[in-house]
Structure 1
């Protein structure tokens, strides 16, 4: 197997409704941020989002921190921004959407943290064929002494401790757990991990809308752990009016194309980052994203 290089497909998790039981399971907190792979190869650092997009310029603070890693290292993990003792997904999205010129100032105002949860390569050796248990031990050995902003995610083999995390960590914005088998290899693009969330709703960053600015039809959102825009189902009339007021003055000159369930690719108007929507993900034949309510943005500048 060749050394992991971008664009790299990341391992995925399937949602479950109860905490799995059984021997040989590991439990990690589920951070709602932006998935990121860090490549420290050939004397340089590259940061890749889940979609395969290179986002190094948007996160100069993490790129600088990654220079501490030994050459030949590849990490998988989650980027979060902490504000007032909680993770703030809207702030992460603002960081991810930053232009190269704006990124350094945002890095100072909204410093990012990286929770590393897997080690895919070390010293130029591809570790994906190894069991998670072995990769985890080597991950801690490589990153454990670095400290913020780059550090290993907590992990426990104790189900009772995991249950305690599940009940207590929502207070700081951690909304669930990821469960992995100790003997599992790393398989990109495959849902072998499992994730348990407290609720069926998710905070999503609003990046655009379809329809008229005075009465948007649907919102275009980016979900936690992903950076691919998706179009919500048509909003209820009351939410359309709220969206018009909330997005007024935030419409940018840019546009884009996103996938709408049942329609394929549709064009949308882009908005400045900072607005968050609470959405529910329903699954019939395809995943349907429904806007439940809108959150008024806090000032992030």
Structure 2
């Protein structure tokens, strides 16, 4: 198995499928592939970047896994929520993911991360990707049984009714929705799963920016329908993370609404809130 790994994805649907499917809660964190190598641990983002220095608390815990193990999952951060107990905070995970290594250590000391694993791609050197989901799920539960928190398997059920109860009851706790996976399917890159979410998102491409490449203020985003629109103003952390990936092109360009921006020559993907794309601006959540 070669680094970096192209991950499996889910396509949005209006209803959960029926039949021989497994259903998992979708937690609101940062997609992370965890590699337990012969001599250490490496953590990979969905886009293939090495993010190990940002999640060192998870890397240290993962040393308890057998070498040659590769897991797919989400790095999340739980925050206290009064009488409700704890909730998953995307904002806290985002702060960690967009920080420097030294800042990440400070954040980890205050709010340690949890790794919610939803697939076992390899265990002890055996590639499990060709195996059906049901076998990979059992391998995931078994390998994590000897590790414990902060590494834990995602909630999973084959009962569609139970999954819909989770969907309704867990809204507002940091659970975004439900992912459905065919029980007999292998693991492969691409949109092989289905998902329903309380607030859906989609991937879009940066085609330009306002401000400077080093300090972008807003992004010009090409949406899936071909329209180009300006994003809302970026947070300081998002601007710092995206800026190094922007390569300005010569000249100026305009959106359909007449907003001008500096074109960018590199295709950089970001995640945006789907509901905002009907309007003149979009909300950028994270770099892909």
Query: Would you call these one fold, judging by a TM-score over 0.5?
Result: yes
TM bracket (short chain): 0.7 to 0.9
Over 3 Å counting, the alpha-carbon distance change for 1:153 and 1:217 in structure 2 is closer
User: What is the alpha-carbon distance in structure 1 between the residues aligned to residue 284 and residue 46 of structure 2?
Assistant: 26
What does the per-residue CA deviation read over 1:85-135, in whole Å, with 9 as the maximum and x for residues that have no partner? 222112111111222222221111221111000001111111101001001
TM-align CA RMSD: 3.8
Conserved 8 A contact 1:200-1:281:
no
**How do residues 1-301 of structure 1 correspond to structure 2 at under 5 angstroms?**
4-22=1-19, 24-84=20-80, 85-187=86-188, 189-200=189-200, 210-212=209-211, 216-218=217-219, 233-234=229-230, 243=233, 255-257=243-245, 266=264, 280=275, 290-291=281-282
User: What is the alpha-carbon distance in structure 1 between the residues aligned to residue 60 and residue 91 of structure 2?
Assistant: 23
User: What is the alpha-carbon distance in structure 2 between the residues aligned to residue 201 and residue 7 of structure 1?
Assistant: 24
The SS at the match of 1:137 is helix
User: What is the alpha-carbon distance in structure 2 between the residues aligned to residue 248 and residue 8 of structure 1?
Assistant: 29
Offset at residue 282 of structure 1 (A): 5.3
Offset at residue 168 of structure 1 (A): 0.7
TM-score with structure 1 setting the length? 0.72
Over 3 Å counting, the alpha-carbon distance change for 1:289 and 1:134 in structure 2 is farther
Over 3 Å counting, the alpha-carbon distance change for 1:21 and 1:61 in structure 2 is same
Could you tell me which runs of 5 or more consecutive residues in structure 2 were left unpaired when the two chains were aligned. Answer: 81-85, 222-227, 248-252, 266-271
Conserved 8 A contact 1:258-1:265:
no
The SS at the match of 1:47 is strand
User: What is the alpha-carbon distance in structure 2 between the residues aligned to residue 143 and residue 129 of structure 1?
Assistant: 20
What does the per-residue CA deviation read over 1:136-159, in whole Å, with 9 as the maximum and x for residues that have no partner? 011100013422211100100111
Instruction: Give the stretch that moved more between structures: 165-174 or 192-201.
Output: 192-201
The SS at the match of 2:57 is helix
Conserved 8 A contact 1:28-1:153:
yes
Instruction: Give the stretch that moved more between structures: 129-138 or 103-112.
Output: 103-112
TM-score with structure 2 setting the length? 0.75
What does the per-residue CA deviation read over 1:11-44, in whole Å, with 9 as the maximum and x for residues that have no partner? 111110111112x110000112111111111121
Offset at residue 198 of structure 1 (A): 2.0
Over 3 Å counting, the alpha-carbon distance change for 1:142 and 1:289 in structure 2 is farther
Offset at residue 265 of structure 1 (A): 6.3
Conserved 8 A contact 1:201-1:281:
no
